[in-house]
Structure 1
Amino acid sequence: MKQLYIVRHGETQFNREKKVQGRGVNAPLNQTGQEQARAFFNHYKDEKFNKVYVSSLIRTYQSVESFINQGIPHERLEGLDEISWGNKEGLAFEPDIHSHYLTTLEAWQRGELDQRIDGGESPIEVMERQKLAMKYILSKPDEEKVLICMHGRAIRILVCWMLGYPLQLMESFGHSNLGLYVFNYTGGQLSMVTANDVSHLEGVELI
């Protein structure tokens, strides 16, 4: 059996200011995000992770850096990156931007999964690069327990297809900062045992 601990990165200032933060924004953790990362590490530091995987964006590395500093091997995979929000990257959620965002989400919920923000990615495109990344991760039989740090929308897409659900149901899955999903991989089958658990963050601010 292989276990996958999949966690979202900690809070950034873009999260705090409710700005669009996708693949095109390489923002570091803010102070709250650092506190969340410490709380997560303190809770799970005794888990025997064989490998840590992060996206190419610094906020994921910083969120699990304490595990890496223990000497656990790590690897960056672009396939774990957040979705690209195209020309809305870095902008505040002003009414017209928010309207375009919501319209796109509504299209995805209708099954129009080729829709995207101008210059951005569609959920199908994100899923395809995720599948390559996960195929690589699952191909390592000696890595029985791995820690994967990635992003909110990316996690929604990932959990959906890994459970065999249509992508238009992705809104069913939450993604708190440092929220944890755990999957077991047995005999070629993936099963979810934990969903967006934040109990390790008791006493730490969440938004």
Structure 2
Amino acid sequence: MQQKTIYLIRHGETDFNRRGVVQGSGVDSDLNTMGRAQAMAFFQAYQHVGFDKIYISGLKRTFQTVEPFIDLGIPFEKLTGLNEISWGVMEGKVPGNIDNEYYRNLIEAWASGNTAVPTDGGESPDQVAARQKTAIDVILSHPGETTVLVAMHGRAMRILLCWLTKQPLSAMDNFEHSNLCLYKLCYDYDSQTFTIELANDTAHLLTLAMA
């Protein structure tokens, strides 16, 4: 039975996260001091795993999140299919009252099954899933990489977890996430199925809370 273990993480905190500014794929922000501390806490907890490969999105906040592992010499590959959803005209803005209504209507449309509805000037969940499938195909095409680390983004992660577990994209908000959370997945090549072994795990960040 051939399997692949995937450590799927969301990037560490950015100042945009802290301020509630919409990032999406169009804002290429850096990790802030907390985000870098989160990245180091994750590294200290999981540096023993021995990852065969690291996959990141095309945005530098994912590179910075796994940089301590890359510094060990672990090979990495950038896959833009792992990028965050494009929020279109809303990127770089702090949602106000009118914008909140826009978001509420959009999320309700998606939750009711209308996942082909795009953001204004951006992408739909269906479009995100399509490009993610290309990226996941690349990751799965290397069965010799038995343990990999994948760094990506919140909304994109929710979309990804839906279709990996054969759930409709309308269920995406059932998957909780926080900065530098971990979802540990196991892929079975024979049955071609993914199993979630850990969900939204942040135990590695407890050291920051105690600091």
CA apart distance, 1:99: 1.3
Question: Is 1:189 matched with 2:210?
Answer: no
**Cα distance in 2, alignment partners of residues 11 and 203 from structure 1:** 16
TM-score scaled by length of structure 2: 0.96
Equivalence for 1:199: 203
What is the aligned residue count? Answer: 205
Kindly report structure 1 stretches of 4+ aligned residues shifted beyond 4 Å: none
CA apart distance, 1:79: 0.3
Question: Is 1:75 matched with 2:81?
Answer: no
3-state DSSP of counterpart to 2:195: strand
Question: Is 1:173 matched with 2:175?
Answer: yes
Matches within 5 A, 1:73-152: 73-152=75-154
**Residue identity opposite 2:204 in structure 1:** H
**Deviations 1:147-204 (Å, cap 9, x if unpaired)?**
0000000000000110000110100001110100011111222111110100000042
3-state DSSP of counterpart to 1:29: coil
CA RMSD, 1 decimal: 0.8
CA apart distance, 1:98: 1.5
TM-score scaled by length of structure 1: 0.97
- Percent identity among equivalent residues? 48
Equivalence for 1:56: 58
8 Å contact kept, 2:56–2:62: yes
Equivalence for 2:16: 14
8 Å contact kept, 2:84–2:153: yes
CA apart distance, 1:56: 0.2
3-state DSSP of counterpart to 1:117: coil
**Deviations 1:14-70 (Å, cap 9, x if unpaired)?**
000001110000000000000100000000001110000000000000000000000
The unaligned stretches of length 5 or more in structure 1 are none
**Residue identity opposite 1:58 in structure 2:** K
8 Å contact kept, 2:162–2:171: yes
